């Protein structure tokens, strides 16, 4: 007789979320063809995409209502939504199924699960690897950060530039994350991506890279309307 291993119950964690952790942020000038055709754009938004810069975030959440997890997300510009133009996440991987389910239900974020492998070096060199559920290693990232850290100034940006919207399962979600913390200048030593799973950032030019040494973030409840 074969004993079936019982799967742990999913943790349901409604918004708002208060999170803490560390990570990296990047601004990357990308080829127009890649932004428009290889950025995993939802069909309802593809024709309205604007901008030449993609924004990428790696986050290592040490505290979260749904449990600690890792995340890699991609924003390829702004899109036209029902009441204005805003940025939107088109590709995102997280390390736990709890994050997948809650991210989709709370904010319409199209999360997918994969395995993350991270190494934070004493030499200020960090390694990040992502492996899909089919076993493919589709991201291999090596980063280096500087010594001195500065306070994050994200709250100085107008709210309209920090607001995100998502369309998923016939609904439109809009929300404004809040973040405080500290950051350092960083650089990309190398990165490789399998474009079947994640946009190939190596085809772009890094405009800015930051190591977020510590952050506190609030993801509020989204405003939701039917499409």
DSSP state letters, the chain:
-PPPPPPPPPPP-PSPEEEEEEEEEEEEE--HHHHHHSS---TTTGGG-B-SEEEEEEEEEEE-TT--EEEEEEE-SEEEETTEEEE---EEEES-HHHHHHHHHHH---EEE-EEEEEE-TTSEEEEEEE-TTS-EEEEEEEEE-S--EE--GGGS-HHHH-EEEEETTEEEEE--EEEEEEEEEEEEEEEE-TTTS--GGGSEEEEEEEEEEEEEEEPPPEEEE-
Is the per-residue pLDDT at 106 higher than 80? yes
Token digits for 168? Answer: 């998923």
> For residues 28 and 56, is the Cβ–Cβ distance under 8 A?
yes
> Whole-number mean pLDDT of the chain?
93
Architecture of domain 17-226: Beta Barrel (2.40)
- The predicted structure's pLDDT at residue 158: 66
- The predicted structure's pLDDT at residue 161: 74
Token digits for 214? Answer: 């510590």
130 phi, psi to nearest 5 deg: -120, 135
Mean pLDDT confidence for 48-70: 97
Q: State the Cα–Cα distance between residues 72 and 198, nearest whole angstrom.
A: 10
Instruction: Return the domain boundaries, the chain.
Output: 17-226
Q: State the Cα–Cα distance between residues 64 and 180, nearest whole angstrom.
A: 16
Q: What is the pTM of this model?
A: 0.94
- The predicted structure's pLDDT at residue 3: 44
Is the per-residue pLDDT at 220 higher than 70? yes
Is the per-residue pLDDT at 173 higher than 80? yes
CA atoms in the 13 A half-sphere facing the CB of 162: 15
Q: State the Cα–Cα distance between residues 225 and 227, nearest whole angstrom.
A: 7
Mean pLDDT confidence for 141-158: 83
Instruction: Report CA-CA distances (Å) from 38 to 103, 129, 166, 175.
Output: 23, 21, 18, 25
- The predicted structure's pLDDT at residue 9: 78
């Amino acid at each position: 007789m074969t004993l079936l291993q019982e799967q742990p119950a999913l943790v349901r964690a409604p918004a708002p979320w208060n999170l803490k952790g560390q990570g990296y942020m990047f601004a990357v000038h990308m080829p127009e063809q890649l932004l428009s055709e290889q950025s995993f754009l939802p069909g309802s938004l593809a024709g309205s995409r604007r901008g030449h810069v993609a924004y990428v975030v790696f986050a290592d959440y040490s505290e979260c209502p749904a449990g600690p997890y890792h995340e890699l997300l991609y924003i390829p510009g702004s899109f036209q939504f029902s009441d204005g133009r805003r940025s939107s996440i088109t590709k995102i991987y997280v390390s736990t199924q709890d994050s997948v389910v809650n991210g989709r239900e709370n904010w319409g974020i199209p999360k997918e699960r994969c395995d993350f492998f991270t190494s934070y070096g004493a030499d200020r060199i960090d390694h990040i690897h992502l492996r899909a559920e089919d076993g493919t290693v589709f991201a291999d990232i090596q980063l280096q950060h500087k010594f001195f850290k500065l306070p994050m100034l994200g709250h100085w940006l107008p709210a309209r530039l920090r607001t995100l919207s998502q369309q998923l399962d016939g609904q439109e979600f809009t929300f404004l994350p809040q973040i405080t913390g500290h950051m350092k200048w960083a650089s990309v030593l190398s990165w490789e991506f399998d474009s079947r799973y994640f946009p190939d950032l190596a085809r772009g030019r890094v405009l800015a890279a930051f190591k977020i040494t510590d952050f506190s973030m609030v993801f509020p409840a989204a405003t939701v309307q039917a499409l």
